[in-house]
Chain A
Amino acid sequence: MINRISDPDGPKIIVCCGSGGVGKTTLSAAIGLYGALSGKKTIVLTIDPARRLADSLGLKDFNVDAQRVPLEQLSDIPRPFEGQLYAMMLDAKRTFDNLIFRHAPADLTKNIFKNRYYQHLSNNMAGSHEYMAMEKLYEIYHQDKYDLIVLDTPPSRRALDFLEAPGKLLNLLGHNFFLKMFRPYLHAGRLGMRVFNILAYPVLRAVGKVIGKQVLEDLAGFMQLWNDVLFEGFSRRAETVKTLLSGNMTLFLAIATPQHLPMTEAVFLYEKLSRNNMPFGGFIINRVHVLENQELFDTDRHGMAEFFNKKSIDDRLAEKLGITFNNYMKMSESDAHAINDLINKIGSNVDILQIPVAEGEIAHLNDLVRLSRMF
């Protein structure tokens, strides 16, 4: 599955989905590196990398431009190679602000930034990060500067929020019903508009009573700005991105660790994508405690005890070594169990890639190279 990335006719967009804490960002970086090492000009769009990963990717704080990853630092890769790797940090607030700057008339931008709905929406509202990721994807795809785009999706409990949130946000901001409702009460002028007479309408009056008139006025103001200035462009781009993500240029990967919740989310993603005929590339199960040569361990217990005794290791140490090993066995059995469950659910013809648990932390580019060799 992932090895299709190195294929010159392979996918152009990789979307890494999964619940929080499964190592999505690290794996996205490794996938990007894999693409770069196979000769492609690759960019990784990432959300919130761990400090040390960001450092090793050369990402500087507060910089939202694409930054080149210094691959010349890599020690053990074949040279020369053609690929390049770029990384970019996504920032919801800034992406929104930039959109406004770019698409809204200058005299209106100030009003938009001042609107409390906008302030909240651009940074806090569920879906805004996902929406922003899509905007960025659209922008970069249409720049046509890269052979491969790897998108690390925002951490969400429901892995699929990423796909649904933008639509939800659009629905929410969809103009028709809301403006119809407010139009009679809006000033004709576009600038500095106020909502007049909202309280003349019984339903609105009641709503105003509950949540406050000010809130309604702000909302109406925002809707007006949104509708006049941004809506069309936003929805057009969202549509394009949706088409893009459904096509054969794209590959979705479900990333999980063997715990219950991440696995459930990954299966949920897989089923959803299958239902919608979207391109699914496979599962990556991260941090698996792999057990090699399993049959040896069952039979050689006694031999081992003897061996350690002969080397005059005291009983206590031998016992502790046994405990440590038992723990690992227990963990690997638990992981194997989780992966079997997954296979039972999805059948055996979907790709599942297992990434063994790392010994230390993945903090350096060379660690990412090691990781990318598993693809």
Chain B
Amino acid sequence: MAGDNTDGLYHKERTGSLRQPADLWAKQLFSRRLIFVMGKGGVGKTTISVALGKAAARDKKKVLLLEIGDTGTIGNIFNKKVLPEVPLKLSSNIWGARVNPKAELAAYTNAYVNSGFIANRIVKSRLFDYLAEATPGLKEVMSLGCIWRWEKKKKEQLENAFDLIIVDAPATGHALSLLRLPDLLINMIRVGPLVAQIRRLQNLFKDHRKTCILLVTLAEELPVNEAMEFYCLAEDELHMPVAATFINCVYPVLFDKDEVRQIKRMKDQFEANLPNPHHVILETALRQINRRNIQQTYIDRIRAKTTGHVREIPFYFTNDLTLIHIEELL
């Protein structure tokens, strides 16, 4: 983006920026405690999570970015390795940590089994691995437990408490089972210390003032189909409606109708005797126009379906967004 004059045109379509302090929507969003960023694989969840973190940090919030699993994508953006399990300061007002379900389960077992000897034997046994892998959702609930622990710190006014926790969720399928989990587990386990804990978690998730889901999608068939299904699931099954949708990689609208006609005419007119580079220029423009039109049909579908906020994120024409770009996204 640097150095060329496209900025003005990119931003033409946008309906405002989170940078404006008066942006009520952003204020509301960042007054939440917990944000889940969801979406199909490859749509840019991590990028949006980081952009949100940056925007919230500008709004003076102390932000924790949580990554589930060990893909290391958040760390990568900040030029760091895979994030540790204890929050690491990434930039001004932003910390990052990785959720490691097994470590969490071990900690939990240690806390609930009185005998340290037995707790240790459990944690080291193959049975433990087994249970962690095979028990429906045990791993996920431990991820949730970790999220919950960070949330709790604030309430108890502990030091290193965070104002806002942004969870860069795994791809939709897995993320869904994560959020479905409290209900499932309560039904499955029924009694015991875990159940009480899960109930508290469930209350936090379903409190719309505290928790919300943001959906990231591309203006393409598969991600949008998945988004459509997800809106219904989120509302009817999870009772956690999608507060906002970010449509990522939206091409700019550069040409008005007249100009498109003009370009087409030129191409037809000069098809035969147009020197090669000129021809390619017109062709490239038409391709991008076509692409944008296709995107629009998907953007319209999203807008027609969701009751939440919709924001289009411009495409930056690069495979490697840097932190500087990401800061500018929102």
Contacts and interface: CB of A to CB of B under 8 A. Distances in A.
Interface size class of A (residues with CB under 8 A): 35 or more
A326 B285 CA distance: 10
Contact of B281 (A168, A215, A304): A304
B122 A203 contact: yes
A142 interface: no
Contacts of A52: 221
Interface string B2-44: 0011100100000000000000000000000000000011110
A19 B280 contact: no
A206 interface: yes
Which of B69, B221, B266, B277 has the largest count of A CB atoms less than 10 A from its CB?
A: B277
Contacts, number: 191
Given A125-B136, A203-B127, A209-B112, A214 B189 contact: yes
A325 B221 contact: no
B99 to A, nearest CB: 15
A360 interface: yes
Contact of B188 (A116, A126, A157, A361): A116
Given A116-B188, A296-B277, A320-B259, A328 B284 contact: yes
Contacts of A313: 262, 266
B119 A206 contact: yes
A311 B320 CA distance: 37
Contact of A321 (B6, B115, B282): B282
Interface stretch (A34-42, A96-104, A242-250, A258-266): A258-266
B190 A212 contact: yes
A50 B137 CA distance: 29
Interface size class of B (residues with CB under 8 A): 35 or more
Contacts of A334: 317-320
A168 B318 CA distance: 37
Nearest to B226: A48
B108 interface: yes
A20 B127 contact: no
A360 B127 CA distance: 52
Nearest to B287: A359
A324 B288 contact: yes
Contacts of B317: 327-328, 330-331, 334
Given A206-B113, A214-B190, 12 more contacts: A20-B42, A117-B136, A212-B192, A215-B189, A258-B319, A260-B76, A293-B280, A304-B277, A320-B255, A324-B288, A325-B281, A361-B221
14 contacts: A52-B221, A203-B122, A203-B127, A206-B113, A206-B115, A210-B113, A258-B319, A259-B319, A307-B278, A317-B263, A324-B284, A334-B318, A360-B290, A360-B294
